[in-house]
Structure formats: C-alpha cells, structure tokens
Copies of this chain bind each other. A is one copy, B any other.
Amino acid sequence: MRFEVRVEVRLREGVADPQGQTIERSLPHLGFAGVSGVRVGKSIRFVVEAADEAAARAEVEDMCARFLTNPVIEDSEVTLTEAAPVG
C-alpha cells in the first residue's frame, strides 16, 4: 500500500524562533495588523510504501525521531493518507 505522508516539524514551545519573530516584527510595517505568535517550521511531504497503515506510521515516526527532527528542540506531527494506486 502507498501512503501520502505530511510531517510537520515545529519548534517546541518555549524554544526561541528568531525567524518567526522577524516576520512578526515586520508585519505592522507592511500593513498587516493583528498577527501574533508567529512560528516557522518545516513541512516534509513524501510517499511511503508499506504493508499497512500501522507499518507506514511506525516507519515514519522512526524517521522523525532519528533524523527528520531534533527531538531536543522540535516535535513533529505526522499525517498519513492512503494514496491512489498507481496505474
């Protein structure tokens, strides 16, 4: 089975996010009011082949823990969707 995967990698709460702070400080000067709490993360998308959804999720969680994230400062959210069969 093929699954479309989206992994959202976010900085943990309390970890400073200079990129987000820069965006937030710039917004009022650019005419955008009322925006707060800007946090910038990564979004990684791919397709994974696995026997079933549980196997796919286990593989993706393992990838996240081992090298897609830095678990000290980041956490991740995995979304799996069954992909349409090829051909």
Q: How far is the CB of A52 from chain B (nearest CB, A)?
A: 13
User: Across the interface, do A45 and B41 meet the contact criterion of CB distance under 8 Å?
Assistant: yes
- The answer to whether A49 has its CB under 8 Å from any CB of chain B is yes
Q: How many residues of A contact B (CB 8 A)?
A: 34
Copies in the complex: 2
Contact pattern, A 45-65, Cβ under 8 Å of B = 1, otherwise 0: 111111000000001001100
Q: How far is the CB of A79 from chain B (nearest CB, A)?
A: 11
Q: Cβ of A36: which chain B residues have Cβ within 8 Å of it?
A: 46-49
Q: Given A30-B66, A66-B30, A67-B30, are A46 and B35 also a contact pair (CB < 8 Å)?
A: yes
Please provide the 7 A-B residue pairs with the shortest distance between their CB atoms, ordered closest to farther: A34-B49, A43-B43, A38-B46, A41-B43, A37-B47, A39-B45, A8-B43
